[in-house]
Amino acid sequence: MKADTSQKFVAAHALFESPELAKLRTDYLSTTAVPNELVSSFSFAPTSADGLGVYYGVMPEHIVVTVSSWGDQARADAFAQAVQENLIGLANWVEKFTKLDCKATKDDNLGRNRQHGRCRY
């Protein structure tokens, strides 16, 4: 019984010391949000050497995003650029979606309103 327990501890030790688990435990993105009109921007260091620190503040009229890194500024810049492009794409989609001209709704047989017909852009 004791030998069996020892083998389990050896196996567990190997798992917890493995590079694969170390990679899974690394916080690549450290994020925080302090959305407030008094805070125009905010930054903090990433929690891992290869990671990124990402601040985001979602305000009624705008979104603030700040990205920091320990050394690879090009990677932080590329990440910030990708976030910006995707937020613009999302804003365009929402704007397009809110301008839909859809036909009226009608009740289904369960008394719930269901939209029917096509929506035009």
What is the average pLDDT score of the chain?
A: 78
Q: pLDDT tier at 88 (50, 70, 90 boundaries)?
A: very high
| pLDDT value for 121 | 43
pLDDT at 102 over 90: no
Most trustworthy range by pLDDT among 5-9, 39-43, 55-59, 82-86: 82-86
**What is the per-residue pLDDT for 101?**
61
pTM beyond 0.85, yes or no: no
Q: Residue 42: is its pLDDT beyond 90?
A: no
Asked if 57 and 34 count as a contact pair (C-beta separation under 8 A), the reply is yes
